[in-house]
Amino acid sequence: MKTGEDEAMRITDIIATTVTVPLEAPLRHSNGAHWGRFVRTIVEVHTDEGIVGIGEMGGGGESAEQAFAALKTYLVGHDPYRLEELRFKIANPTASLYNNRTQLLAAIEFACLDIIGKHLGRPVYDLLGGKLRDEVEFASYLFFRLPNEQTGEGEIRTVQQLIQYTERLRDMHGFRVHKLKGGVFHPDYELECYLALANAFPEDRLRYDPNAALSLEDAIRFGKAIEHVHNDYFEDPTFGLHGNRRLREFVRIPIATNTFVINFEQLAANILQPAIDVILLDTTFWGGIRPCVKAAAVCETFQLPIAVHSSGELGIQLATMLHLGAVLPNLTYAADAHYHHLLDDVIKGGKLHYENGCIRVPDGPGLGVVLDRDKVSEYAELYKRLGGYPYDRDPARADWFPLIPNTRWADHRA
């Protein structure tokens, strides 16, 4: 039997596999598009007790395999239970000036929590204070979409296409909250689309997110024009804490961000000099599930509302969002997920299901999702064939790139 230090579990290996999983159609956003598929790196952390934990990371259309391989020097021999030490080993805040590993840290934290949960035979939510709910509500995530390259279907550009698509999602998954991703077309046209949604679904709640592409003036104009409809919030309307603080003087809708408050320094700055009302917690951007739980506690103290953000996900990352959503007492908004745009997943049993707009929190040990080896191989092969893509470019507009604030809108008539 192991004694003292020897009792600790040890990380023995880190294996990363890049996969690409198809989407129904390319999703347009203010900086470019998800080009008809997600590229995600799956990480498996092995231990000397034979327990393997899984994590996941995005990376703007690129593989993170090499970055994970480089972590082996730091982490082989590390005890996965020592989560605070993990942070200082690979992402201490001053070394991050040279090596920013926040997103890598997040994926390794997911895997370590998965290991601890499997070791104890308890779900991750039990390691985070215990669940307060059995399911997490999600918003539909409405994107303007290009047609699917193979089938020519799935385009969302006209008001009619947007409304029909939203109706279909409501029927299929039961969403009663809808987030429109904007910043693609001229703000006047996107305003027309947003108001059409409000008009078509008067009982439902809405949120609009142009990823800070609007000038302060456009954001004021847009915000004032939607004040009368059922808004959750106005998400990253314009750039920066100062821009949004100015906007807040003019627009009477809560302002949300997943861009300008993504660490504790920024959270403190925003509390001392308020600019943002709703803090969107992303398990990747904040460096793990646990930092999000800590941030939620700060927000609870200062009565700042929170929501669970999506930076794109397969089933592993989705599980982190579900465990997070399960334990937050002050979660009053529906979470975001890109998930319903995916055609498949890499976890056993296939995609998790929505019911009445909600997804059940997995109850199995650890994250409660298990890799489907065949699917991982299939989509790793697809990645080898197709490679990555530039997330911050638009496949429909060669040589285009946006300004912030943007004026180079796509043409909604074609």
Task: Give the shortest CB-211-to-Mg ion separation in angstroms.
Answer: 6
Task: Give the shortest CB-411-to-Mg ion separation in angstroms.
Answer: 24
Distance CA 288, CA 29 (A): 25
- Of 118 and 248, which has the nearer Cβ to Mg ion? 248
Q: What angle do CA 254, 156, 383 make, to 5 degrees?
A: 95
Residues in 205-224 that interact with Mg ion by CB under 5 A: 209
The one among 20, 102, 258, 320 contacting Mg ion by CB under 5 A: 258
Could you tell me how many residues of this chain bind Mg ion (CB under 5 A)?
3
| Phi, psi values for residue 13, rounded to 5° | -160, 155
The residue behind tokens 């908004």 is 333
Residue 232 near Mg ion by CB under 5 A: no
The residue behind tokens 């679904």 is 201
Interacting span for Mg ion (CB under 5 A) from 49-57, 73-81, 202-210, 341-349: 202-210
Q: Residue 308 in contact with residue 318, Cβ under 8 Å?
A: no
- Residues shown for the chain: 414
Residue 394 near Mg ion by CB under 5 A: no
Task: Give the shortest CB-282-to-Mg ion separation in angstroms.
Answer: 9
- Of 258 and 284, which has the nearer Cβ to Mg ion? 258
CB neighbour list of residue 141: distance below 8 Å, 6 or more residues apart? 179, 181, 310, 336, 337, 338, 340, 341
The pair of structure tokens assigned to 334 is 């529906």
CB atoms within 10 A of CB 4: 6
Distance CA 280, CA 295 (A): 10
Interacting span for Mg ion (CB under 5 A) from 135-143, 165-173, 243-251, 252-260: 252-260
Task: Give the shortest CB-259-to-Mg ion separation in angstroms.
Answer: 7
Residue 30 near Mg ion by CB under 5 A: no
Interacting span for Mg ion (CB under 5 A) from 123-131, 170-178, 254-262, 367-375: 254-262
Residues that bind Mg ion (CB under 5 A): 209, 235, 258
